[in-house]
Structure 1
Amino acid sequence: MNVFLGFLYVLKIILSSVASIFLMIAIYLLKKLDVFHINLRMLIMHALLCIFVNNIIQMLRFAISLSQNIKCSSHNQFPAPFCAFLCINGVFICMERLYATFNFSKYENENFSYFLAKIYAVLWMILTLCSLLKFWEGILPGRYNNSLNCELQMIRENPLKTQWHLILTLLFFW
């Protein structure tokens, strides 16, 4: 394995670890402090948890690449199921904020956490199934190439085609 590529993999693992720690602190603070309404807090916590899970998966992927001297993993850094989850979550946040704006007088006493918990249970099951399928597809032999070169080659060929889910996530969530 190239020394520079190994350094980048180690740097990616370190950055993912630090980001994961900050995400867990943010989730803990959202859960502990009553800063936002319970409905908005639940929506934001699920979005942060989705990003946290993706960080852990990517960190493990790079750790496996380093330990097994694999030169590449051709999957995206932010897989499409996670982007779809964040897009759906962004739509839920917009709907919740719209509802809170139009029904501001009675909104403070309403708690939809049971309903949201059921919806997110279904979304997490779908995300887990998609992630497991991608994981098993990714560990099959012969699927690995140089990760950075794969990404650069895909971006050179057609940047919008390979990164469409990132563009949609940016539009819907941020």
Structure 2
Amino acid sequence: MQQAANEQQNLEDFWLVVVYLCFSLLSIFGAGLCGLLTVLLKKYNVFHANFREILANVILALGINNVLQFGRVVLVLYEWYYEKPIIQIKNFSNECLEFSIIPTFICAIITISGIILATERLYATLNFAKYEYEDITWILKKFFALMWTFMGFTIIWHICEFLAKDSNGSYYSCMLVQIVQNPLKSSWHIVITGLCQLVFLVVFLTVYKVNKEKQIVYIKYHYNNLSSRFQLGENIKATRLLLPKTFLLLITLVISFGHTYKLNQWFKLSRNPYEIDVIHNIILWQEISLLFFPLYSVIMPLIFILKCTVFMNRTRCLFKEMVYKVKGNNGRQKKPSGIKEAFFDDLDACWEDAMHYS
């Protein structure tokens, strides 16, 4: 009996290692893609400057969340290495720090940026004839700088609070404390963010439909009005990229909250919830939820890069140059084959993108 229990625990420890390995790879890859997309949005004038500034901060928040969540794995490895108690069944500490798959301040950045982005898209739709010449990036930069400064102090405060906290509970004990709590209490910020994403999705769908209808009218009756037609084309293209981003984030938030609620009910309905096998299984499935947002942070930037010809071409050229530099000999720099041709392809892509053909 004891041997069977040990084998079961070892098996679950093995699957925990698999989960943490997948999580680490997805987090690193997702953070890299978010960083790449942020640089592309800042560097290339593919969309309106206001749109790029807002979206870049949303992508940056997702990348930072990946880095912060990676700290979980570091904490677990620290506890494993020093052989601290993995789970304490009795005397759960009420002094545990909150371990959320997406922290409250990251949800705040995503939600506030989403409100600004939805407002920007609505204004660009209603004032499409003049919006091309309206640049308020200097205001947006100051606003986001203040917001990131505040969030930075929040992160530092949480880190200092964690280091100064004298808690008897291990990481897994704290996770179990959160599972036992009411999901609406422990995941309220995820619920609010999800509801906001639902509203944003409706707004973006409406904006997309209105711009498509206006584009048809302008092509038919005002074909020579190039500025308005191009702004309508940009509105359609930008909103078309926001739809999958918002929808996937909404699905991720719904799955995340549903997963938390299911684990809470599993614990409550178990005949002996404090049995070690039950706790190990609940902890294992709780850690599986770590994969949701890193997976989203990989898929979402890929959608933007693959659907935007200029971003795709610039990414391809960037990797070609990086590979050539790695293979370079004695510091001699030659242009790798295909880079010069890619330059002209990039010019064509920029022109087509400006014309909104793709």
* TM-score computed with the length of structure 2 as normaliser: 0.44
CA distance in structure 2 between the partners assigned to 1:76 and 1:169 by the alignment? 14
Return the index of the structure with the highest Cα Rg. Answer: 2
CA distance in structure 2 between the partners assigned to 1:58 and 1:114 by the alignment? 31
Partner of 2:22: 11
**1:87 has 2:87 as partner:** no
Q: CA RMSD in A?
A: 2.5
Cα distance change on mapping 1:143 and 1:124 into 2, 3 Å:
farther
Residue 44 of structure 1 deviates from its aligned partner by: 0.5
**1:76 has 2:115 as partner:** no
Cα distance change on mapping 1:108 and 1:143 into 2, 3 Å:
farther
Alignment coverage as a number of residue pairs: 173
Q: Percent identity?
A: 30
**1:24 has 2:35 as partner:** yes
Partner of 2:159: 135
CA distance in structure 1 between the partners assigned to 2:157 and 2:117 by the alignment? 28
Q: Which runs of 5+ in 1 are unaligned?
A: none
* 1:13 and 1:63 in contact (8 A); partners too: no
Which string of whole-angstrom CA distances, capped at 9 and with x for unpartnered residues, describes residues 19-66 of structure 1? Answer: 112212222222233222110111000001011111111113322331
138-147 or 39-48, larger mean C-alpha shift: 138-147
* 1:80 and 1:165 in contact (8 A); partners too: yes
Residue 53 of structure 1 aligns to which amino acid in structure 2? I
Aligned structure 1 segments of 4 or more residues deviating by more than 2 angstroms:
1-11, 31-35, 67-74, 138-147, 149-157, 170-174
**1:119 has 2:143 as partner:** yes
Q: Which runs of 5+ in 2 are unaligned?
A: 1-9, 88-96, 198-245, 247-358
Partner of 1:166: 190
Higher RCO (CA-CA < 8 Å; seq separation 6+) = 1
Residue 152 of structure 1 deviates from its aligned partner by: 5.7
Partner of 2:279: none
CA distance in structure 2 between the partners assigned to 1:54 and 1:141 by the alignment? 25
19-28 or 112-121, larger mean C-alpha shift: 19-28
42-51 or 74-83, larger mean C-alpha shift: 74-83
* TM-score computed with the length of structure 1 as normaliser: 0.85
